[in-house]
Amino acid sequence: MTALVKNIIGAKQGPAAAPNPADPKAPTDTGAPHSAIKFLTVDAESAGQRLDNFLFRHLKGVPKTHVYRIIRSGEVRINKGRAQAETRIEVGDVLRLPPIRISPRAEEGAAPPAPAREFPVLLEDDAVLAIDKPAGVAVHGGSGVSFGVIEQLRTARPAAKFLELVHRLDRETSGILLVAKKRSALVALQDQFRERETGKTYLALVEGTWPANKKVLDAPLAKYLLPDGSGAGAGERRVRVVAKDHPDAMRAVTLVRVLARLSLPGDATPLSLLAVTIKTGRTHQIRVHLASAGHPIAGDDKYGESERQRALQKLGLKRMFLHAWRLQFNHPASGDRVALQAGLPPELHALMPPAALEALAQHPVATTHD
């Protein structure tokens, strides 16, 4: 039976209780936002987080370098004791935060807050938010990206007590992305991803004619860095297929089903539209598995041929054709099985010939809403 999930948008945060200075576990806040000593008590929604991540949320606008500095110096205390950035906080822990004084130069150099942005909602309730992520948007800041989906959502929803990514998608990949709205939901959903209890299927357009009998790709993967002198990408992280006895080998299993064979208008090169289901969630798994089989994803600027990518751009494909199409999981609150689907975004849909679109329409998915 499919779940019936109600959309609850913009849930309001309850009024905060007045702090009681006599109670050491009561959150206190005297004076300006970061100008006085604070005591914060960890609640159930925050339990299990790393100390640094917890502080990033509570010291908004404070540079990360400053947060790490006050942790290393021992000015941040947990239950009166020193702690490390990676320390996991627990329910009832009392955190002491020192007065935060930031020099004007540091304030000027601090990254501006992420601009508020909402994304198309596929499902939302008290525990889970599922959005349709566009291509070209990182899921979080880092590695030269100042902000991503999660930072933009937090800015757009200042009353939300908890918003955390359940999993990740490559910046170039569009489609279904899950965000947890409660700590309990995050733990339950990440357990499902780790135990491979979810169903994740992508749409990929690949070069060439994919063999109909090639249905399982079981090849270990390993990360590496491009060497110096390799051009503009020197030092960038890449992934490749390796032998099973490679010291960094991680098992990766990908299932492939051919949905349609086609070519783009104005180009006779054969292409194959695939439904790709991953049984493991390795970095760049689909991209590397398909490329290593001799069929790179159309528009993939990391694992495809650069000359071919330029030709595809002239034909109208200006991004990688990889889309997180379907996702199934057990709802963390009700336990019901949820099945989501995100249709092709307009820029990919417009490139598909009618026969390919008809093939997609022949594979309906059960929905979870009224």
Residues marked active site are found at 170
In contact, 65 and 119? CB cutoff 8 Å:
no
Q: Nearest to residue 173, comparing CAs of 218, 142, 141, 203?
A: 203
Tokens of 37: 């000593």
* Pairing, β 216-218 against β 199-207: unpaired
Q: How many CB atoms lie within 10 A of CB 16?
A: 8
The distance of Cα 348 from the centroid of its chain, to the nearest Å, equals 21
Give whole-number Cα distances, 294 to 29, 201, 278, 289, 327, in Å. 60, 21, 18, 9, 27
b/e 287-320 (16+ beta carbons within 10 angstroms → b): bbbbbbbebbbbbbebbbeeeebeebeeeebebb
**Residue 330 bridge partners (DSSP):** 337
Give whole-number Cα distances, 4 to 125, 126, 132, 341, 368, in Å. 11, 13, 20, 15, 5
In contact, 256 and 274? CB cutoff 8 Å:
yes
Q: How many CB atoms lie within 10 A of CB 283?
A: 15
The angle subtended at Cα 180 by Cα 277 and Cα 162, nearest 5°, is 160
DSSP 221: E
In contact, 340 and 130? CB cutoff 8 Å:
yes
The residue behind tokens 């009353």 is 159
The angle subtended at Cα 173 by Cα 171 and Cα 177, nearest 5°, is 90
Q: Which amino acid is at 172?
A: E
